[in-house]
Amino acid sequence: MRWPLLHTASSPKSAPMKILAPASTFLMVPKATKSFPNPAPLSEDIPACNLPDSRPYADYAENGTVVVISQPAGQSCAVVGGIMAARMKHLGAEGLVVDGRVRDIVALNETQLPIWSKGTSVIGAGAETKFHACNVRVSVGETIVEPGDIVMIDPFENGVVAVPQGKVEELLELLPKLVGADEKVIADVEQGVSVQEAFKRHRS
């Protein structure tokens, strides 16, 4: 099952704005370093490296997309800092969703990009991880994100969701019905109807 929820917590605090854009994806993998000499072995599910050269990952950011970055679970380092965020902003990224850690919070805020992450760190990415592939399927918690899936960043609702490309039309057809039902429920509740009864009338 593909759960749509990506993150419900954000570290940087940019100006609130709702973003709706296709996803471009970056996959990070562990690497052995002096500080972290025994990285976890790569899963069999990890796709082959598809990078044509050794450019930093930020140089692969695509105009008009929300960049979704998958970092190996349990790592201490940050995978996004001020320099990388500034580069992605310059290339036209609409926002960043990081399944991992970020750093340089002041610099990230200065980009004015919506940036959502699991947490922060003072450790740079090179200490523990490396860029492995772009525009491949990635996992963000329980959610699978494919390149081109539609990502909505909604700071007003305090959440981020991803919609598979093939489900967009179905969702657009369903949303007005859901919103309409909720509006009727709210109207009934404001008139003294119990939530149970209002749900029965309009959601069943």
Residue 37's domain comprises 5-163
Q: Are residues 148 and 73 in the same domain?
A: yes
104 is an annotated ligand-binding site residue = yes
Q: Are residues 56 and 82 in the same domain?
A: yes
| Model confidence pLDDT, tens digit, residues 89-126 | 999 999 999 999 999 999 999 999 999 999 999 999 98
Reported in sequence order, the residue ranges of 18-135 that DSSP labels E, i.e. its strands, are 19-30, 66-70, 95-102, 115-120, 129-134
137 is an annotated ligand-binding site residue = no
User: If you average pLDDT over residues 40-46, what whole number do you get?
Assistant: 82
Q: Are residues 19 and 111 in the same domain?
A: yes
Q: Give the chain's domain count.
A: 2
| Model confidence pLDDT, tens digit, residues 116-159 | 999 999 999 989 999 999 999 999 988 999 999 999 988 777 78
Q: Are residues 120 and 193 in the same domain?
A: no
pTM of the full structure: 0.82
Q: Are residues 152 and 171 in the same domain?
A: no
100 is an annotated ligand-binding site residue = no
Q: Are residues 110 and 178 in the same domain?
A: no
How far is it, in rounded angstroms, from Cα 128 to Cα 36?
Answer: 6
Q: Are residues 156 and 171 in the same domain?
A: no
152 is an annotated ligand-binding site residue = no
Q: Are residues 49 and 101 in the same domain?
A: yes
Q: Are residues 178 and 93 in the same domain?
A: no
How far is it, in rounded angstroms, from Cα 156 to Cα 83?
Answer: 27
Q: Are residues 72 and 140 in the same domain?
A: yes
Strand partners for 188: none
